[in-house]
């Protein structure tokens, strides 16, 4: 068994731009590193053989890259994964999980038995890494996400924690085709993230054949440099080259570094080496492969720990949420910005990010008050979401905002954030046809459905400014994926500033003992529902109005009580008919004792440009249409009785 830390060894950095050679203690030498790389390959083969699935050949190409990292560069306390000063390692190529798990074994974090339970039900070593593993911060497996997460973490390190930890991201070459990687490249350079190192494992072969770039590693170098990075081209199977590259990466100020490593997929086993058709498959003859790789090894090591250090903390004062007067006309998006700024003053962990529309979402109010904790993500919604995930994973409470419609651009990141078990706070403005003239491309009409269908999500849609402010404060302590949907137009304040709005609650904004029908709205349609109730009253129809500001979880109890009391329900939403408020109401009543007739009003045609009121009317969700629906329901029941 090779013990760690026994050969203090110095290397110089021949191509470091004027950097001094740094003496290093306790580094493994090339021979030891090669052995460790072989161990990782053997363990990859063994894992996949036991599971009869997995991606061993994708782990084998990057084995030497990770051997050098683990032995000589990573600073990580495996006993205290939450240690603020720890480096972070992200496998952006999450399918190479066998390699990551082999590293855990070498670090003494898991046993050989645990390793071989890979992909079995009940093992934390899933097909792709997730944070149910203590040493994994973010889930990967949807390609092109690890590097953008790394950008978020590196921003945390440099600008918020202000600690010298490094973020190491192992990328596949196939995933370099994902646009999100280039969003990450641009933002990392813009934010001068010299604490971020990307390692591209250029093994040439994707799942079904060669990548567009193949082994033309110079292409990645040129692209990275054009995006403002330091780039180093190496042979990814030469420990000394790898070691020098990491050393250089750590020493370049003001710029992130990418190490473009030429590697061989399936390296070390002739039957699969550099061969198509071996992606995502266990090897045919694992015993022969292990023998060819020199047999099972049991190298273990104490991975170097970081120096103790405490993260920076921002000053705070008491919370003073904005307060709005009853009847005042305020856009909920404006209340979002003002509430978030207030929350930021009271809590040092609050951070805001926006996708180049902060003067529309009003995140700019936060920016003005807390410039150190505001990060502009430009028109790059994937990076916006990924930065939120990365910041959350480092303990910061990140609020992301954009037009609600444009979160659809990052839906895969939202889906994956749920698998990462991070808490996301997202606010989407300009919901629905109520935005008016800008037209359908800017109108979120599918956002409630999309967010409801994310695991662990909460979907909030306030209708007035005081409600918004309270919900923003609540968001900061709500677990899971929290989405707040705000409105472009001003709406009247109907709630007192001291009212509370718990998650899962609702407000019965109008009711009597003998209501004939219940109208359930949220956001702009609450105000239309109230107008409808007024006009219905003139006709002798009494309508209960429920403000379902918490669409998920929805207030089933209040809905069931309304169903019992009024027997008929109209739901009305500025959203497509599928998956939104109406469906949430139906779900809440699906297996209850009272299953009333429910009429769903929603936008059913592709909207055009026009004034907000024209559009609410044209698409059947204004007061007149609500009243007509209520009349129809009441009439139907009367006719049937």
Contacts of 134 by beta carbon, 8 Å cutoff, 6+ apart: 81, 109
Q: Pick between residue 274 and residue 356 the one whose CB is nearest to its own copies.
A: 356
Nearer to its own copies, 125 or 463 (CB): 125
Catalytic residue among 32, 233, 381, 528: 381
Q: Which of residues 285-314 bind its own copies (CB under 8 A)?
A: none
CB of 356 to its own copies, least distance (A): 5
CA distance 475 to 473: 5
**How far is CA 309 from each of CA 82, 83, 87, 197, rounded to the nearest angstrom?**
12, 9, 12, 21
Query: Minimum CB separation from its own copies for residue 601, in Å?
Result: 11
Which residues face 507 on adjacent strands?
A: 547
Contacts of 577 (CB under 8 A, 6+ apart): 600, 602, 603, 604
Stretch that binds its own copies, among 69-77, 175-183, 240-248, 301-309 (CB under 8 A): 175-183
User: Binding to its own copies by residue 437, rule CB under 8 A?
Assistant: yes
What whole-number distance in Å separates Cα of residue 311 and Cα of residue 146?
Answer: 23
* Selected range binding its own copies among 1-9, 322-330, 482-490, 587-595, rule: CB under 8 A: 587-595
**Among 320, 438, 496, 534, contact with its own copies (rule: CB under 8 A):** 438
Do 596 and 582 form a contact (C-beta atoms < 8 A)? no
Least distance between its own copies and beta carbon 377 (Å): 8
Residues 507-526: x where in contact with its own copies by CB under 8 A, - otherwise, as a string: --------------------
Tell me the torsion sign for CA atoms 264, 270, 276, 281: negative
Check if 273 is active-site.
Answer: no
What is each CA distance from 75 to 59, 86, 108, 133, 171, in whole angstroms? 22, 6, 15, 18, 20
Among 449, 522, 526, 536, binds its own copies (CB under 8 A): 449
Q: Which C-beta is closer to its own copies: that of 268 or that of 596?
A: 596
Measured distance CA(550)–CA(540) in Å, rounded = 30
* DSSP SS3 for 13: coil
What residues between 116 and 155 interact with its own copies by CB under 8 A? 119-123, 126-128, 130, 132, 139-144
Of 476, 482, 484, 487, the C-alpha closest to 454 is: 482
Q: Which of 174, 257, 392, 468 binds its own copies (CB under 8 A)?
A: 174
Nearer to its own copies, 68 or 202 (CB): 202
- Per CB under 8 A, contacts with its own copies among 183-222 are 183, 186-187, 190, 206-209, 211-212, 219, 222
Tokens representing residue 38 in the block: 């072989």
Size of the site for its own copies (CB under 8 A): 111
Residues 533-562: x where in contact with its own copies by CB under 8 A, - otherwise, as a string: -------------------x----------
Angle at 23 (CA atoms; ends 301, 75), nearest 5 degrees: 40
Q: How far is the CB of 79 from its own copies (least distance, A)?
A: 25
Catalytic residues: 381
């Amino acid at each position: 068994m090779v013990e760690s830390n026994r050969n203090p060894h110095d290397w110089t950095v021949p191509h470091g731009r004027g950097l001094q050679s740094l003496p290093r203690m306790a580094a493994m030498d090339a021979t030891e590193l090669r052995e460790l790389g072989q161990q990782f390959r053997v363990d990859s083969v063994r894992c996949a053989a036991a599971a009869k699935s997995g991606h061993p050949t994708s782990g084998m190409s990057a084995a030497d890259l990770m051997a050098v990292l683990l032995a000589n560069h990573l600073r990580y306390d495996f006993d205290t994964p939450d240690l603020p000063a720890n480096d972070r390692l992200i496998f952006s190529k999450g399918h190479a999980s066998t390699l990551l798990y082999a590293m855990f074994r070498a670090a003494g974090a898991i046993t050989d038995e645990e390793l071989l339970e890979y992909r079995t039900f009940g093992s934390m070593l899933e097909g792709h890494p997730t944070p149910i593993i203590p040493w994994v911060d973010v889930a990967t497996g949807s390609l092109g996400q690890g590097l953008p997460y790394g950008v978020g973490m590196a921003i945390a390190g440099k600008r918020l924690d202000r600690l010298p930890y490094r973020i190491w991201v192992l990328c596949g070459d196939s995933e370099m085709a994902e646009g999100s990687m280039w969003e990450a490249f641009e933002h990392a350079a813009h934010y001068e993230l010299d604490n971020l190192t990307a390692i591209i494992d250029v093994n040439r072969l994707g799942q079904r054949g060669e990548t567009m770039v193949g082994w033309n590693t110079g292409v990645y170098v040129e692209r990275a440099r054009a995006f403002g990075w330091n780039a180093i081209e190496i042979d990814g199977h030469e420990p000394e080259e790898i070691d020098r590259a990491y050393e250089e990466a750590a020493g370049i100020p003001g710029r992130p570094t990418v190490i473009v490593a030429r590697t061989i997929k399936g390296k070390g086993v002739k039957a699969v080496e550099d061969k198509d058709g071996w992606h995502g498959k266990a090897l045919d003859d694992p015993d022969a492969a292990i023998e060819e790789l020199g047999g099972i090894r049991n190298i273990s090591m104490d991975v170097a720990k970081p120096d103790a250090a405490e993260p920076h903390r921002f000053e705070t004062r008491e919370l003073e949420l904005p307060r709005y007067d009853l009847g005042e006309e305020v856009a909920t998006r404006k209340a979002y910005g003002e509430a978030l700024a207030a929350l930021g003053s009271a809590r040092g962990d609050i951070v805001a990010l926006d996708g180049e529309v902060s003067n529309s979402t009003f995140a700019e109010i936060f920016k003005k008050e807390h410039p150190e904790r505001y990060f502009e993500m430009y028109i790059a919604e994937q990076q916006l979401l990924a930065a939120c995930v990365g910041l959350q994973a480092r303990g910061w409470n990140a609020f992301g905002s954009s037009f609600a419609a444009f979160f659809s651009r990052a839906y895969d990141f939202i889906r994956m954030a749920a698998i990462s078990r991070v808490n996301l706070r997202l606010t989407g403005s300009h919901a629905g046809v109520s935005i008016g003239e800008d037209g359908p491309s800017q109108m979120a009409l599918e956002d409630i459905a999309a967010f409801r269908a994310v695991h662990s999500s909460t979907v909030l849609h306030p209708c007035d400014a005081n409600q918004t402010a309270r919900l923003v404060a609540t968001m900061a302590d709500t677990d899971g994926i929290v989405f707040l949907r705000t409105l472009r137009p001003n709406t009247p304040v109907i709630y007192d500033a001291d009212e509370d709005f718990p998650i899962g609650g609702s407000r019965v904004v109008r009711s009597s003992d003998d209501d004939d029908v219940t109208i359930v709205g949220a956001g702009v349609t609450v105000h239309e529902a109230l107008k409808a109730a007024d006009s219905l009253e003139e006709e002798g129809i009494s309508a209960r109005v429920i403000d379902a500001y918490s669409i998920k979880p929805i207030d089933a109890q209040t809905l069931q009580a309304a169903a019992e009391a009024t027997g008929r329900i109209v739901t009305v939403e500025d959203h497509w008919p599928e998956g939104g408020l109406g469906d949430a109401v139906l779900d809440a009543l699906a297996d209850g004792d009272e299953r009333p007739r429910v009429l769903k009003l929603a936008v059913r045609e592709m909207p055009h440009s026009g004034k907000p009121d024209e559009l609410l009317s044209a698409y059947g969700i204004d007061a007149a249409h609500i009243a007509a629906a209520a009349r129809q329901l009441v009439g139907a029941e009367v006719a049937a009785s």
